Each structure stands twice: as structure tokens, then as C-alpha cells.
């Protein structure tokens, strides 16, 4: 039985992935079940004031906000941030694509290909 996965994507304009996880105004949260999108929503991030003085606290608040997500698709982030999310069982997936829709379609294809290769091998 396959479980639903949740993907978080940092964005400022709700269309493109933002360059910086901690400076993002929103996170698009996408739920995927059996290779199909079953839910999409935006969560507003208001951590820019915290970021100025306490960047670690900002990352902690983002992690809390996207606590039920399995993957974070982003352009880049520091090793410190990657490790923080990894310790909390979040997988950072780097991408060079800018448009959220394209990133998600490609990621879902990749996931379903990996699952079919894994589950159905003789």
C-alpha cells in the first residue's frame, strides 16, 4: 500500500520557486497519492523579521510549519539548513527548474518511476 507524500516548495509569487527557503513568503504544499496530486495549498511564511536576527530560529519555524511534508524542492540551501531538515526526516531535493508546476510534474514522474522499478523487479 502506497502512502500519500507531501511536497513543500518555497515561493514568493506562487508560480516560481524562490531562491531562498528562509526568505520565502509562501510554501506551496502538494499532496501526492499514487502519482496523482490530491491536494494543493499555500501556507504563508512571515519569518523575515526573525531571519534578520535569528536565522536558526527561522529554519525551526519553517520546519514546524511544514512538519507533515516529506520533501522540500528548492534551488539551493546551505549545508547547515540541509542537515537541520535531514535530522527532522525531511528530504531536500535540489532543482534548477524555476516554475513550480514543471518541478512537481518532473518530481512525481521520477518518484513513480522509482517505485515501479523497486516494487516490480523480479
Residue ranges per structural domain of the chain: 5-119
Residue with grid cell 547547515, as numbered in its chain:
80
What's the pLDDT score for residue 97?
Answer: 93
In the CATH hierarchy, which fold is given to the domain comprising 5-119?
Nucleotidyltransferase; domain 5 (3.30.420)
Q: Residue 22's Cα: distance from chain center in Å?
A: 12
Query: Which regions in the chain score pLDDT beneath 70?
Result: 1-2, 47-56, 115-122
DSSP state of 17: B
Query: What pLDDT score was predicted for residue 93?
Result: 93
Please spell the DSSP secondary structure of 44-74, one letter per residue: E---HHHHHH-HHHHHHHHHHHTTT-SEEEE
Amino acid at each position: 500500500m502506497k502512502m500519500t507524500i507531501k511536497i513543500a516548495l518555497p515561493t514568493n509569487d506562487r508560480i516560481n520557486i524562490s531562491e531562498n527557503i528562509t526568505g520565502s513568503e509562501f510554501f506551496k504544499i502538494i499532496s501526492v497519492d499514487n502519482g496523482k496530486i490530491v491536494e494543493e495549498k499555500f501556507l504563508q511564511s512571515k519569518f523575515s523579521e526573525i531571519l534578520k536576527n535569528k536565522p536558526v530560529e527561522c529554519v525551526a519555524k519553517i520546519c514546524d510549519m511544514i512538519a507533515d511534508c516529506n520533501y522540500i524542492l528548492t534551488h539551493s540551501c546551505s549545508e547547515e539548513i540541509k542537515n537541520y531538515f535531514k535530522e527532522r526526516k525531511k528530504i531536500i531535493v535540489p532543482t534548477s527548474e524555476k516554475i513550480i508546476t514543471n518541478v512537481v510534474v518532473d518530481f512525481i514522474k521520477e518518484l513513480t518511476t522509482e517505485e515501479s522499478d523497486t516494487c516490480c523487479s523480479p
